Structure formats: structure tokens, C-alpha cells
A and B are shown apart, each in its own frame.
Chain A
Amino acid sequence: MRIVVAVKYVPDIQSERGFADGRVERVPDDGTLNELDENALEAALSLVEALGEEERAASEVVALTVGGPDAAAAVRKAFQLGVDRGVLVSDDAIAGSDYAGTAAVLAAAVRRLEQDGPVDLVLAGMAALDGLGSVVPSFVAAELGRPHLAFADRLEVDAAAGTARATCDVGHVSEELEAPLPAVVSVSDHINQPRFPNFRLIMAARGKPVEQWSLADVGLDPSRVGEAGARTRTVRAEPRPERPEAEVVVDKGDGGTALAEFLIRNELV
């Protein structure tokens, strides 16, 4: 089984995050692997680990990311969790890509990986904690012409039957879905508890190279990506004015009444 996990390098959620020139500001060393992608990496690794010895030996988990040179850090983190191979697609022409542009690069990289053998599954997290769009996996699926199982809480793959089954709980609807392989699956944060890197893996990760590909390497026309290909552009980005300090009441037996009075005074009741 060959699984490609699409991962993203994002600003740390605890850091001061902002925009510069209409794009997410990337402060060196303040970035990290998107936490929700750890669920996708965990899902990929545990699918492979559940296989018989022979199949397992023939399997491969590839972490794939698109971004600036810093984004290699996300792939290195994936190595520490145990993925076999890591690819960063990086090219000046990619900067300013919208969802469709980013997905086109990911899809082209998957096709390039297929030159070494078929890819059964493309996995992704449910959202990137910077943009929170949750739409790139759908675009990747559409771009590759493959079925998409979104926000899987459970995932079973039957390689022999060539199917993936997922349980998805979104909004007020629970569904059991089945897709023929190859497929694209995004996983929720309920699907598993991601593993922690251990010493052995951290040491092994040091020796693994992050393969760097350009747009030409994945055979994608630069006009489809970056600002040239983008169908949307950010025309304004401003920090919101800070909220004035809260009115704080320490409860001395009338805290609830004070709360009710605040709501009534502000016509919120």
C-alpha cells in the first residue's frame, strides 16, 4: 500500500500570527507541522503497521508539502513520526496560490509520485490551523478525479477488495461511506491519538533527506499557480482593534445577579 499524506507548515497557534502584503506572515522558527495533520500521519502509519509482513515491506508512507524552504520542517517532523519518504514542492512561482492553486501542486506531485508506482490513498487533516478552510482535500480529489471521504472519524482500508470505508460525523449527520481505491481521505481529530516521536525515530529522521521539487519537476505550468493562477486575492488585512478590558466581578454571593444585570443592561436577554 502506498499512502501520500499532505501536510502543511503553519505558524504556531501560540505565536503572534498576522498578515504581511496580504499573505500569512511566516516568521522563521515560529512555524510547525499543522497539528491536525498528525492525525492523518497517524492514520497512514497505523494502516501500514496493520498489514502482514510482506505487504508492509512493500508499503510506503510519503509526507508531501507545498511551501517555502521553511516548510521542510513539517516534513522533518513527519519523519520523526515514522514516514518513509518526504517531499517539499517549493518554487517562487507558487507564492500567492489560492486553494485551487495549492491543490493543483499537490495533485501534480501525487502524479509524479505515481511514476514510481500507484498511490492508493491520499490522506489529509481536517483543516489547517492557520487558514481553516478545510477545502484543499476536496480540490485535490477533484483535481485527481478521485473520490473523497471527508472528515473520517474511522477509516478501514481493504486493499484486496480495493475499497476504503469511513465513518463520518459532521454537523448532525453520521454517515458510513465507501469509496473505491485510489481515494482521497481527510481525517478528523477524533480518529486517533497521534504518537509521539521516540528517540530511535528522531535519530533515524536525521538521516532522511527532504526531497525538493520545483514546479517543473512536477510538470505543472506556472500560470496555474501563485498569483498568476489565483482566482481570489486578499485586498485588505488588518488586525482587529483589541477588545476593551473586561468588566470583572468577583462572586461574593451575587455574581450571578451581576451577570444577569450585565445582559439585561446590554439588551442581550
Chain B
Amino acid sequence: MNARTVLVLLDTPATELRSPALEILTLARGLGRVEAVALEAPSLETLAQLGTYGVEHVRQAELALDDPEQRHRPPVVAAALARAVEVAGADVVLLTSSFVTKEVAAHLAHATGAGLVVDAVGVTATDDGHVVGAKTAFAGTWETECEVTTDVAVLTVRANAVVPAPAGTTVETQVAGFPVEPDAAATAVRTRSRAVHPTTGGRPDLAEAATVVAGGRGTDGDFGPVLDLADALGAAVGASRDAVFEGWFDEFVGQTGVSVAPRLYIGAGISGAPHHRGGMQSSQVVVAVNNDPECPLFEISDFAVVGDLADVLPQAAAAIRAHRQDGA
């Protein structure tokens, strides 16, 4: 087997690595020798995490930029990765999957001539050395495999593709800088303002969570029962697009919102329109609560309760809390 070099872009090196980054580090290890790329100095926590995941080298981009805000621009990140591919002689670049990283991946693939697979749910290699990304299509009703035929492969990988697993042995992680000079085209867009909104209520991030509870029009504007069940489960909260457009919640699940593939998805007062399903149908276990026995979400559910969510969710939350207490 040839010794592949796999670069992993770290989303949040300055704080600590979150599950999606640890997941791609886990996948990367199955493909070859792993190096990490960061656009900011990694924190001590990040370095410790990288050590347990067996990563010896972090390449930290030293960006020549007039405006430091530019470091967030996808073409700038792509320029750093393209340079890292060159200096590391890398064969594969793995990124987490979000609208932003997909834009980065597209610019990177364009700059390096690499083949690109986005939203992979698995990454493997063929006997003759090509990298293959597994994907789901058409609202999770199809599975496909996409082989990259070029020397360099770029893939974005969806959250919850694998369970993160540290390497057998912990290593010492070194950071080495490399200079990057993004060209004029990469910095043509000016950032006039930029604001980051953390998730509300200290709940897990919707895109990354292992459990998601989502509420729709059936909540009639009262997300209390949805939040109650989510908190009993330690879950992230989402909504349908209609519920967001009504102003009842801030993030929706679906093809044009956040794509989720958690271990458990619970949809309450959500009919299960194709657009909504497209963003959650890859979930491992689907539970629906709806007062309409004909609701389409039941068709793709493992467990369904026909009933009023205002009764069902608080009762479930209380039963789960009681169970937790017994267990403790």
C-alpha cells in the first residue's frame, strides 16, 4: 500500500475540536498518514486532542492579509489548503461539511484540479488507490459511491459519519508554520461586518448533535414542549422551515436549512414534506409525534405516536428524567 498523506482542516483550532473534526480525523487515519491544517494557532486542548488522535504535525497557515477578517473568506482558506497540499505532498484533503466548508472545498478543487465529493457519509479507498466517498441521495432514499479519479481528492464529510475514536497510542504534536499569500482574486470580497451567534441555551449544535428534537407548525408557536424533551435528552433543537418563517425558532432542518444525520431524530408537529425529509432522512432512528395518523413523516419513522405533542412530549420528558434518576 502506498503511504497516502491526508490533510484534515481543523474548524475550531483556537478553542477545542468538536465531534465532526474528530470524526474526520478518525476517517483520515484509515486512509494514510494524517496531518492537520489550521488557520489559527491551536490551543493546548486542541493539541492534546490531536495527540490522542495520533496526529504528529499541524501546519499553521501564516496568512499575508491586509484585513485579518479576510481569514474567514472561503477562497482564502482554500488558498491556504492548496499551499498545504503542495508543501505536504498531500493526496487527500478532508473537511467537515457545511455551506462554508463546501465553498472552501470547491475553491480548493478548482485551484488544485482535484476531484471533489461533498457531503460524504463515509470515505474508503479502492485496491488501486483511488479514494471513494459514500453518499446518500434523494432524501436518503439512495446510496451512492463516488470515486475520485485524480491524484488529489477533496472531500467534505457530514457530521455523525463515524463515531470518533482516538488512536491506540498518543503522540507528541508539533506545530509548524507555512506562509500563504492569497492572490487578489481570493481577497476581492470585503467583509463589512461579521457576527457569530452561539447556539442558544447551551444546547448541542444542531448540525453536529447525536440527538435532535424538531418542532413544526403543530407547536402552534409554543416550543416549550420541544425544548423540554430536548433538554431531558441532551438534544439539539431544530424546527421546520415554516416554524422558522413564523419566527418561532431560529434554525430549521431540511434541504435548504441544516442537514442532520443524528442517531435519533424526533419530529413533533412536523408533517414531513419532501424538503424537510431531505435534510433528516439519513437519521438512524426516526420518531414522529403528530395528531394526524396520515402524516407523511410516519412513513419514514421507526416509532410514531398519534397524539397532541403538547401532551406527549412533556410526559416523555418526565419519564426520561425519571429513568435517568433511577439509573444514577
Binding site for B on A (CB under 8 A): 13-14, 17-19, 22, 36, 98-100, 126-127, 129-135, 138-139, 142-143, 145-151, 165, 170-180, 188-189, 230-240, 243-244, 246-251, 253-264, 266, 268-269
Q: Establish whether residues A247 and B306, one from each chain, have CB atoms under 8 Å apart when the complex forms.
A: no
Q: Establish whether residues B300 and A243, one from each chain, have CB atoms under 8 Å apart when the complex forms.
A: yes
Main secondary structure of the interface of A (DSSP, over half): mixed
Binding site for A on B (CB under 8 A): 72, 74-75, 98-100, 102-103, 105-107, 109-111, 113-119, 132, 136-138, 140-150, 185, 188-199, 205, 207, 211, 233, 255-256, 263-264, 274-275, 278, 285-289, 293, 298-308, 311-320, 323-324
Given contacts A135-B102, A165-B192, contact A263 B264 (CB under 8 A): yes
Q: Establish whether residues B312 and A189, one from each chain, have CB atoms under 8 Å apart when the complex forms.
A: no
Q: Establish whether residues A98 and B115, one from each chain, have CB atoms under 8 Å apart when the complex forms.
A: yes
Q: Which of B110, B147, B302, B303 contacts A233 (CB 8 A)?
A: B147
Q: Establish whether residues B319 and A134, one from each chain, have CB atoms under 8 Å apart when the complex forms.
A: no
Q: Establish whether residues B140 and A240, one from each chain, have CB atoms under 8 Å apart when the complex forms.
A: yes
A258 to B205, CA, bound (A): 27
Q: Which of A145, A188, A232 contacts B149 (CB 8 A)?
A: A232
Residue of chain B at shortest CB distance from A165: B192
**Given the complex, which residues of B lie within 8 Å of A170, measured CB to CB?**
98-100
Given contacts A139-B106, A150-B103, A188-B256, contact A19 B305 (CB under 8 A): no
Q: Establish whether residues B316 and A259, one from each chain, have CB atoms under 8 Å apart when the complex forms.
A: yes
Q: Establish whether residues A251 and B195, one from each chain, have CB atoms under 8 Å apart when the complex forms.
A: no
A104 to B75, CA, bound (A): 18
Given contacts A233-B146, A260-B319, A269-B323, contact A100 B116 (CB under 8 A): yes
Given contacts A36-B256, A171-B100, contact A232 B117 (CB under 8 A): yes
Q: Establish whether residues B149 and A134, one from each chain, have CB atoms under 8 Å apart when the complex forms.
A: no
Given contacts A232-B149, A246-B304, contact A129 B98 (CB under 8 A): no
A108 to B98, CA, bound (A): 28
A230 to B263, CA, bound (A): 34
**Given the complex, which residues of B lie within 8 Å of A268, measured CB to CB?**
211, 263-264, 285
Given contacts A17-B141, A246-B298, A255-B312, contact A138 B306 (CB under 8 A): no
**Given the complex, which residues of B lie within 8 Å of A258, measured CB to CB?**
305
**Given the complex, which residues of A lie within 8 Å of B317, measured CB to CB?**
256
Give, as a whole number of angstroms, the nearest-CB distance from B52 to chain A: 26
Residue of chain A at shortest CB distance from B284: A268
Which of A178, A243, A264 has the most chain B CB atoms closer than 10 A to its own CB?
A243
**Given the complex, which residues of A lie within 8 Å of B305, measured CB to CB?**
248-251, 255-256, 258-259
Given contacts A147-B188, A188-B256, A235-B145, contact A269 B194 (CB under 8 A): no
Given contacts A255-B315, A268-B263, contact A239 B256 (CB under 8 A): no
**Given the complex, which residues of A lie within 8 Å of B144, measured CB to CB?**
19, 22, 234, 236-238
**Given the complex, which residues of A lie within 8 Å of B111, measured CB to CB?**
142
Q: Establish whether residues B100 and A243, one from each chain, have CB atoms under 8 Å apart when the complex forms.
A: no
Given contacts A135-B106, A235-B132, A262-B287, contact A251 B308 (CB under 8 A): yes
Q: What are 5 A-B interface contacts by the 8 Å CB criterion?
A: A175-B191, A180-B188, A232-B147, A256-B311, A259-B303
Q: A130-B138, A148-B189, A236-B143 are in contact. List 7 more A-B contacts (CB 8 A).
A: A170-B99, A171-B100, A230-B149, A233-B149, A235-B146, A251-B307, A255-B289
Which of B148, B192, B303 has the most chain A CB atoms closer than 10 A to its own CB?
B303
**Given the complex, which residues of A lie within 8 Å of B109, measured CB to CB?**
99-100, 139, 231
Give, as a whole number of angstroms, the nearest-CB distance from A144 to chain B: 10
Which of A100, A131, A246 has the most chain B CB atoms closer than 10 A to its own CB?
A246
A268 to B286, CA, bound (A): 11
Q: Establish whether residues A145 and B114, one from each chain, have CB atoms under 8 Å apart when the complex forms.
A: no
Given contacts A132-B278, A249-B306, contact A269 B233 (CB under 8 A): yes
**Given the complex, which residues of A lie within 8 Å of B256, measured CB to CB?**
36, 126-127, 188-189
A13 to B278, CA, bound (A): 10
Q: Which of B143, B189, B319 contacts A238 (CB 8 A)?
A: B143
Given contacts A36-B256, A189-B256, contact A232 B138 (CB under 8 A): no
**Given the complex, which residues of A lie within 8 Å of B107, measured CB to CB?**
138, 142
A188 to B263, CA, bound (A): 28
Give, as a whole number of angstroms, the nearest-CB distance from B106 to chain A: 4
Residue of chain B at shortest CB distance from A130: B138
**Given the complex, which residues of B lie within 8 Å of A130, measured CB to CB?**
138
Q: Establish whether residues A248 and B298, one from each chain, have CB atoms under 8 Å apart when the complex forms.
A: yes
Q: Which of A17, A129, A165, A269 contacts B320 (CB 8 A)?
A: A269
A49 to B311, CA, bound (A): 50
Given contacts A127-B256, A255-B312, contact A231 B116 (CB under 8 A): yes
A98 to B301, CA, bound (A): 33
Give, as a whole number of angstroms, the nearest-CB distance from B316 to chain A: 4
Q: Establish whether residues B255 and A255, one from each chain, have CB atoms under 8 Å apart when the complex forms.
A: no
**Given the complex, which residues of B lie within 8 Å of A135, measured CB to CB?**
102-103, 105-106, 116, 118
**Given the complex, which residues of A lie within 8 Å of B105, measured CB to CB?**
135
Residue of chain B at shortest CB distance from A11: B138
